[in-house]
A and B are shown apart, each in its own frame.
Chain A
Amino acid sequence: MIKKISLFWILLGLSISSGAASTDGAIQFMQKLGDQVIQTTQTKHGEEKRQALRDIFENSVHHTSIAQFVLGKARRALKFVFKEVDDLEKEKQALAHDVKNSLEEFYKIYKESVTRTYLSSFDRDYKDEVFQATHAKQDGEDGVVVYSTLDRKNGAPPLNLHWVLKSTEGGLKILDLRVEGVSQAEKERDEAASIIRKHKDQCKQDGGKFCDLAALKKLTDDHKTLNDEWKKKIRGEAISVN
């Protein structure tokens, strides 16, 4: 969860220095973020609420790092597409252009996917539910894991949410959310690996070239389709409410 408006956080006094992350600052960051999300869902409605949540999440997540993590080895495998062309400088330059554009397109679409995931997960009624950032632990050189709980209704046990944060020049950013020990980034990477493998195998069977690149494009298309469907659904809900 997480989002935008770093300026907003700075104004709120949420100044987290870059460099080594402070665990106290990280706890504060997550508590304020959680409170902000809950407050937004309780005080705003419809498109206004969604836009406010979008702002929060977009500014709080380190999208590129997550996107690169999700691609994993598939991103590095793109190097090998250059071996599939003859040693013609011009052809390789064109391919490099394609690879660069495809990666940028993926990052762009994936940023929207992350926002969609957080929005759909947290855009709900938090009545009688309490979010509490309890403690934090230093994680690597510039990372912090913040431990939090969300008390739930209907007899469901409290949810343990662990946030992996990274200190950046723009303040703390979220890298991963672990729900009851399950990493969302790892889940996303497993999904991506499954899609990439499927399309790469198919491409090879069809005798295609640049299959690593083709699989990346397919993965981007799949995310784009899901994002578009979600936008359509949101628009439909807005129309039915009006």
Chain B
Amino acid sequence: MKSYRFYIFFVLAFLGGCGHNSDPSSNKDSVESIKNQDPFEPFNRKMFEFNRVLDGLILEPFANVYRNSVHENAQRSISSFLYNLAEPVTLANDFLQAKKDRGFETFSRFMINTTFGLFGLFDVAEKLGLPRHQEDFGQTLGIWGVPSGPYLVLPLIGSSTPTSLVGRTADFYLSPYNYYMVHYKKRQYIYVRLGVETLVRRAQYADDIKNFRENSIDFYAAVRSFYLQNQKAQIQDTTDRESLAPGSDAFNLNDDDADILGEFK
């Protein structure tokens, strides 16, 4: 799964996560479906607003400073370094999802970038034809068939589902970086990494987020739709992802406005 999808949500609602729709095959047509997926909507909307305020007060201003003051090449290297730190988690999940080829690809990427790429500061592997992808334990649970449960928005954590929360916890323990820091009693560096990563991704997708916000008539509903669709797409990554989104036939409606007006047209 492309990191983009993961991180755009991470920052959109102040920080996504990963979670999965319980029924990836459903092609919802609206109100009933939304009620089913988001039974705690009143609570979620309040948390969403809370996160938006925090984002506006803290994250967005700092992200703007970072974007405007750090050289583009340095931003690219920092981003690449952070992606490299997360490769072991992707590697573990590749194999847990029985994606052996992708697992070996991730392993190669990690080795190449950690050595020739100077601890990941340069994405040498991508230039050698090994593109980056990202997997997490939330996806793994989805692929194993675990239902995601209802959509939740939590303070600071943002968009999530019960499955995604379990996944995030598992990913924490799958990370050698976190293991090392906990083992050597340097937990503060875990928080430093989390903070830096949040800032970098927020800066990286600042324009996309701004556009998304400015072009939504209901920003909460837009983020929820984006998040749930994204999770469905992630689970289906290796199968038939395209079939999840509406195809051209979905736009061929069987009635026209005249049918609606009936005899009164």
Contact = CB atoms under 8 A, between A and B. Distances in A.
Contacts of A73: 29-31
Contacts of A13: none
| Interface SS of A by simple majority | helix
A190 B34 contact: yes
B214 A197 contact: no
Contacts of B31: 73, 193, 196-197
A137 B245 CA distance: 14
Contacts, number: 177
A183 B215 contact: no
Interface stretch (A2-10, A32-40, A172-180): A172-180
A76 B31 CA distance: 13
A191 B233 CA distance: 19
Given A100-B261, A155-B76, A166 B34 contact: no
Interface string B11-55: 000000000000000001111001000000000000000000000
| Interface SS of B by simple majority | helix
Interface of B: 2-5, 8, 28-31, 34, 72, 75-80, 123, 131-132, 204-205, 207, 211, 214-218, 220-222, 224-226, 229-230, 232-234, 241-242, 244-253, 255, 257, 260-262, 264-265
Interface in A116-142: 116-117, 120-121, 124, 137, 139-142
Contact of B233 (A139, A145, A180): A180
A164 B247 contact: yes
A72 B30 contact: yes
A139 B265 contact: no
A103 to B, nearest CB: 6
B218 A191 contact: yes
Interface in A86-126: 92-93, 95-96, 99-100, 103, 116-117, 120-121, 124
A69 B215 contact: no
Contacts of A95: 264
Interface stretch (A41-49, A50-58, A60-68, A203-211): A60-68
Interface in A154-200: 154-160, 162, 164-166, 175-176, 178, 180-183, 185-187, 189-197
A143 B233 contact: no
Q: How large is the interface on A (under 10, 10 to 19, 20 to 34, 35 or more residues)?
A: 35 or more
B233 A182 contact: yes
A181 B132 contact: no
B245 A154 contact: no
Given A189-B30, A190-B224, A182 B215 contact: no
A175 B80 CA distance: 35
A78 interface: yes
Contact of B229 (A78, A181, A193): A181
Contact of A181 (B28, B241, B265): B241
Nearest to A143: B248
Contact of A182 (B5, B77, B221, B265): B5
Contacts of B224: 190
B176 to A, nearest CB: 22
B207 A124 contact: yes
Given A140-B247, A162-B242, A223 B76 contact: no
B226 to A, nearest CB: 6
Output the residue of B8, B221, B241 with the most chain A CB within 10 A: B221
Contacts of A137: 242
18 contacts: A65-B253, A72-B30, A79-B260, A124-B207, A140-B249, A141-B249, A145-B247, A155-B78, A155-B79, A158-B131, A175-B248, A178-B245, A180-B8, A183-B245, A185-B246, A194-B34, A194-B221, A219-B217
